[in-house]
Structure 1
Amino acid sequence: MNRRTFLKTSGKLGAAALVSTALPQLARASRRSKLKPTLKVVGTHVTLLEPIRQKAEQDLGINIEFHPGGDAEVLLKAATDPEAFDLYEQWSNSIKVLWQAKTIQPIDISKLTYWEEINNLSKTGRISDKARPGLGDAPCNLLFIQPDNSLSCVPSNEISFLPYVHNVDSFGYNSSIVPKGVPYESESWGWLLDDRWQGKVAIVNSPEIGIFDLALAVQAKGLMSFKNMGNMSREEVDQLFDIIIKLKRHGHFRGVWTSVPHSVDLMASGEVVLQSMFSPGVSALNGMGIPCIYAAPKEGYRAWHGVMCLSRACTGEKQEAAYAFMNWWLSGWPGAFIARQGYYISNPQRSKAFMSAAEWDYWYEGKPAAEPLVGTDGKISVQPGSIRTGGSYLKRFENIAVWNTVMDTYEYTLTKWNEFVLA
Structure 2
Amino acid sequence: MDELTNRRKFLKTIGTGAALTSLAFKAPYVFAKKQVTLRVMGTHVTLQEELRQRAMKELGLNLEFTPMGSAAVLQKAAADPSSFDLYEQWSDSINILWQADAIQPIDINRLTYWDEINPLTKTGKIVPEAKLGVGDSPNKLLFVQPNGTLGNNPSSHISFLPYVHNVDSFGYNTQHINKGIAYETESWSWLLDEKNKGKVALVNAPTIGIFDAALAAQGAGLMTFNDMGDMSIEEIDQLFSILLAKKREGHFSGFWTSVPQSVDFMKSNRVHIQSMFSPGVSACKGSGIPVVYASPKEGYRAWHGVMCLSKNTSGEVKDAAYEYMNWWLSGYPGAFIARQGYYISNPERSQPLMSVPEWDYWYNGKEATEQLRGTDGKISVKPGEMRDGGSYIKRFSNIAVWNTVMKNYDYSLDKWYELLNA
Aligned residues: 398
AA of the residue aligned to 1:49? Q
- Structure 2 unaligned residues grouped into runs of 5+: 1-24
> What displacement does 1:176 show?
1.2
1:199 aligns with 198
2:359 aligns with 360
Question: Per the alignment, in what secondary structure is the counterpart of residue 317 of structure 2?
Answer: helix
> What displacement does 1:422 show?
1.1
Q: Distance in 1 between matches of 2:89 and 2:222?
A: 32
Q: Distance in 2 between matches of 1:68 and 1:189?
A: 29
Q: Does 2:305 match 1:287?
A: no
1:155 aligns with 154
1:251 aligns with 250
Q: Distance in 2 between matches of 1:387 and 1:34?
A: 44
> What displacement does 1:129 show?
1.6
1:180 aligns with 179
Q: Percent identity?
A: 64
1:47 aligns with 46
Matches within 5 A, 1:209-248: 209-248=208-247
> What displacement does 1:28 show?
8.5
Q: Does 2:93 match 1:94?
A: yes
Q: Distance in 2 between matches of 1:63 and 1:53?
A: 9
AA of the residue aligned to 1:354? L
Contact 2:35 2:62 (8 Å CA) reproduced: yes
- Structure 1 unaligned residues grouped into runs of 5+: 1-25
> What displacement does 1:373 show?
0.1
- Normalised by the length of structure 1, the TM-score is 0.93
Q: Distance in 2 between matches of 1:79 and 1:135?
A: 25
Aligned CA distance change for structure 1 residues 27 and 75 (closer, same or farther; 3 Å): farther
AA of the residue aligned to 1:170? S
Contact 1:30 1:36 (8 Å CA) reproduced: no
Q: Distance in 1 between matches of 2:217 and 2:74?
A: 27
AA of the residue aligned to 2:277? F
Contact 2:283 2:380 (8 Å CA) reproduced: yes
2:326 aligns with 327
Higher-Rg member (1/2): 2
Contact 1:338 1:376 (8 Å CA) reproduced: yes
AA of the residue aligned to 2:395? R
2:188 aligns with 189
1:126 aligns with 125
Question: Per the alignment, in what secondary structure is the counterpart of residue 353 of structure 1?
Answer: helix
Aligned CA distance change for structure 1 residues 31 and 169 (closer, same or farther; 3 Å): closer
Question: Per the alignment, in what secondary structure is the counterpart of residue 166 of structure 2?
Answer: strand
Contact 1:36 1:61 (8 Å CA) reproduced: no
AA of the residue aligned to 2:68? G
- Normalised by the length of structure 2, the TM-score is 0.93
Contact 2:30 2:60 (8 Å CA) reproduced: no
Question: Per the alignment, in what secondary structure is the counterpart of residue 353 of structure 2?
Answer: coil
> What displacement does 1:32 show?
6.5
Q: Distance in 1 between matches of 2:404 and 2:266?
A: 27
AA of the residue aligned to 1:257? W
Aligned CA distance change for structure 1 residues 203 and 33 (closer, same or farther; 3 Å): closer
> What displacement does 1:29 show?
6.0
Query: Which string of whole-angstrom CA distances, capped at 9 and with x for unpartnered residues, describes residues 187-230 of structure 1?
Result: 00000011111000000000110000000000001000000000
